[in-house]
Chain A
Amino acid sequence: MTQQSDMRAAQKGGSEGRAVFKTSRAVRYALDRLFTGLVFVAAIIGLVVLTVLLVDIAWDGVPRLSWDFITNFSSASPARAGIYPALLGSLWLLLLTAIVSVPLAVGAAVYLEEYANDNWINRLIEVNISNLAGIPSIIYGLLGLGIFVNLLGSITGGRSIISGALTLSLLVLPVIIIATREALRAIPDSVREGGYALGATRWEMIRDHLLPMAVPGALTGTILALSRAIGETAPLIVVGAATFITFAPHSPFDEYSALPIQIFDFISRPQEAFQVNAAAGIVILMIVLLLTNSVAIWLRNKYQRRG
């Protein structure tokens, strides 16, 4: 469209004869103003949709919120159905995922940044990690179903919290590795050389100097990755999180539900009242995410000021 109007303007400009540029200045300036408006609208469209989405969900869900909704178990009656087991399941998942993924990811990041030589096998690991970050989450669900639920079912108890947590751990692993590596890379080499100059071995230098300095950056990335894990639905459906639960999980080997799974179950039911439950569940989920993200931002700001 722009080109067409440009050409039309060019013909006009040509008849005037004295325009250096093919299009007359007035037309070009008008197009510029139009384009400025266009890019501005594009930039705020996302924000507008986000606002509409949040208002719509709050509108639908907030009136349904009550203490009973948070403390009740699953029920066939929408008015009595609650999210207690799902909320508990999500907290279990969060805790176990953090316990499994954080040490593994930090270890991998330290190895790749501080130890690994530039040989083919380490390059393979690097390519592999960036590729893992691009695999759809539902594929991780299939991995969990094949390995943790079926192959190792006798150890994990099949469709248990631990199977779900292990699946989510693998999902967030590349994200935490990448965040930790960036935090390590930001530390100047003078810190490393200072450590060595005082007679520290490589590991002593890493433990006493690099890791404490990398904590804020790595922690922020970790919390963001874990908050992503809280919102993940597809892999948990595939590894068999239950949708109808009338007891609270007591151990990692119990059956479980999770907040997003419960929301999906509410949405899938035809009755209008369950849709309202879904909106209320989403409000709770968004509050949990808001809290975790605020902690991440607070940590980032706190440590940035010190540094």
Chain B
Amino acid sequence: MAVDGERGSGRSGTGLWQRESRARHYREQAVKIVLAVCAYASVLTTFGIIFVLIFETIAFFREVSIIEFLTSTTWSAAFANPKFGIIVLISGTLLTTVIAIAVALPVGLLAAIFSSEYASTRLRRWLKPALEILAGVPTIVYGYFALTFVTPFLQGTILPSLTIFNALSAGLVMGVMIIPTITSVSEDAIYAVPRSLREGAYALGATKREVATRIVVPAALSGIVAAVILGISRAVGETMIVAVSAGALAQLDFNPLDPTQTMTAFIVQVASGDTPTGTLVYNTIFAVGMTLFVITLVLNIVSYFFVRRFRETYE
């Protein structure tokens, strides 16, 4: 290009530059349009998801009344005289999620406090990648672990009456899976708490624990709430752990020692069998998927607002 410019300057330098700049201008516009199309593709994904879910869910509700879907207390989609009470699957999801959060919230929050208030920089540099590994383990591996290690371990030690498939093991392992999410998001919130608040408390004679639990945690509360909601959203959408280790028994029962079925596990159960397109059972997984989508969407939005609140407060 530079050579071109020199050659052209012998005759009419400005003209050549203009012509070239027009070609460049068109190329600039073309590149911009191509890049914009790439960006809009991500919006298409969302539209695609909403379109598919709504389309198949409407087909489902042509055959099943929406009142039955929302109020029935039996779920027997795969049987001869099917009943479709989504509450049953939601209760399974709720049960495993509650167990998971009961593990992940205290452990994740205390680990975040350790990492930000207690650990040395060197130790923190070791802890963070380790947590990343924990977050990177495929969920099918956690499922195998819950089924072949955690359940037999619980049976052999404290719960001899535990069935092979149960909500407890699935929930416990899911809790471990969520720890990194809760730790990293609440750690961000804890870091955002200004140093002056801590120093003020120390100046009044507070101990390290008092500063951590009475000053730092309350000040970072909205971020911690966001972390927990994000964790709940992960647990609700988690699939393979429950599909492998919680069983496939859809029932309205909050006993963690019994088998259960979540929304995600139901979708896997139907999809891994041979279900022809267009049948009622095929449409059912989209109706369940729609429910799942709406629940996680609401959770993500709520969490987003909490995150924004702690950012606004201290940044």
Binary CB contact string for chain B from 180 to 224 against chain A (1 if under 8 A, 0 otherwise): 100100000000000000000000010111101100000000000
Segment among B8-16, B81-89, B129-137 that sits at the interface with chain A: B129-137
Segment among B65-73, B94-102, B249-257, B286-294 that sits at the interface with chain A: B286-294
Q: Which 9 A-B pairs have the closest CB atoms?
A: A136-B237, A231-B138, A107-B38, A146-B52, A42-B110, A39-B114, A111-B35, A234-B239, A35-B209
Interface positions of B (Cβ within 8 A of A): 24, 27-28, 31-32, 34-43, 45-46, 48-49, 51-53, 55-56, 106-111, 113-115, 117-119, 127, 130-131, 133-134, 136-145, 147-149, 176, 179-180, 183, 205, 207-210, 212-213, 230, 233, 236-240, 243-244, 264, 267-268, 271-272, 277, 285-286, 289, 292-293, 296-297, 300, 304
A139 and B176 contact, CB distance less than 8 A:
no
15 extra A-B contacts, CB within 8 A, seeds A136-B237, A234-B240, A285-B141: A32-B210, A35-B208, A52-B149, A53-B137, A57-B145, A108-B39, A108-B42, A110-B35, A124-B43, A136-B296, A146-B286, A231-B139, A260-B140, A267-B244, A279-B144
Bound Cα distance from A35 to B212, whole angstroms: 10
B38 and A228 contact, CB distance less than 8 A:
no
Instruction: With A32-B209, A146-B56 as known contacts, state yes or no: A115 contacts B36, CB within 8 Å.
Output: yes
Instruction: With A42-B114, A125-B43 as known contacts, state yes or no: A50 contacts B36, CB within 8 Å.
Output: no
A142 and B147 contact, CB distance less than 8 A:
no
B34 and A139 contact, CB distance less than 8 A:
no
Segment among A67-75, A91-99, A127-135, A188-196 that sits at the interface with chain B: A127-135
Interface positions of A (Cβ within 8 A of B): 2, 20-21, 28-29, 31-32, 35-36, 38-43, 45-47, 49-50, 52-53, 56-57, 60, 103-108, 110-112, 115-116, 122, 124-125, 128-132, 134-143, 145-147, 150, 170, 173-174, 177, 201-203, 224, 227-228, 230-234, 237-238, 240, 243, 260, 263-264, 267-268, 275, 278-279, 282, 285-286, 289, 293
Give me 17 A-to-B residue pairs in the complex whose CB atoms sit less than 8 angstroms apart, sorted by A's number. A31-B207, A32-B209, A42-B113, A46-B111, A125-B42, A131-B297, A131-B300, A136-B236, A138-B292, A146-B51, A170-B48, A174-B42, A201-B24, A203-B32, A231-B141, A238-B285, A240-B271
B205 and A142 contact, CB distance less than 8 A:
no
In the complex, residue of chain A having the shortest beta-carbon distance to the beta carbon of B180: A46
B45 and A28 contact, CB distance less than 8 A:
no
Instruction: With A56-B149, A60-B148, A125-B43 as known contacts, state yes or no: A289 contacts B271, CB within 8 Å.
Output: no
Instruction: With A46-B107, A50-B133, A53-B145 as known contacts, state yes or no: A32 contacts B208, CB within 8 Å.
Output: yes
Bound Cα distance from A150 to B52, whole angstroms: 11
B310 to chain A, nearest CB (A): 16
Enumerate chain A residues within 8 angstroms of B205, measured Cβ to Cβ.
Answer: 20-21
Enumerate chain B residues within 8 angstroms of A28, measured Cβ to Cβ.
Answer: 207, 209-210
Bound Cα distance from A267 to B243, whole angstroms: 11
Bound Cα distance from A106 to B38, whole angstroms: 8
In the complex, residue of chain A having the shortest beta-carbon distance to the beta carbon of B32: A115
Q: Which residue of B42, B137, B289 contacts A132 across the interface (Cβ within 8 Å)?
A: B42
In the complex, residue of chain B having the shortest beta-carbon distance to the beta carbon of A3: B213
Enumerate chain B residues within 8 angstroms of A32, measured Cβ to Cβ.
Answer: 207-210
